[in-house]
Amino acid sequence: MALRPDNRLLEAPMTPVDCALCGARVEARKSSWEQTSVQWHADALAACAERPVAAAGAGAVFTGCRTLKRTIGEAAVQGRIRVRSEEADSTREDPAARG
């Protein structure tokens, strides 16, 4: 059986987003309002203001930047990042109503 190619990034490429707090640039893609994919690069990890705080705790794991999460959400509401599930849903609600 042949593997089917994964064309998701061809159909909806990742979009550069700069964190509102520290300016760390990542690439993001939203498949839905609930699902976000983020590609971190070494320079973004080094610039992230929240990462050192998370790493300070014993056994702490950096699971992501809360400010960056808000920044990506705002970019989606403003239409700077496409939300793929909305393109298939012609009866969608206004994204600004999600707050």
Q: Angle CA(66)–CA(33)–CA(42) in degrees, nearest 5?
A: 40
Cα–Cα distance between 61 and 83 in angstroms, integer?
28
CB-CB neighbours of 77 under 10 Å: 17
The span from the first CA to the last CA of the chain, in angstroms, equals: 45
Q: Which of 35, 76, 37 is nearest to 27 (CA)?
A: 37
pTM: 0.73
Rounded Cα distance, 56 and 58, in Å: 7
pLDDT values of the chain reduced to their tens digit, one per residue, 99 residues? 787 776 766 777 899 999 999 999 999 999 999 999 999 999 999 999 988 876 666 667 778 899 999 999 999 999 999 998 876 554 445 555 554
Task: List the chain domain ranges.
Answer: 13-82
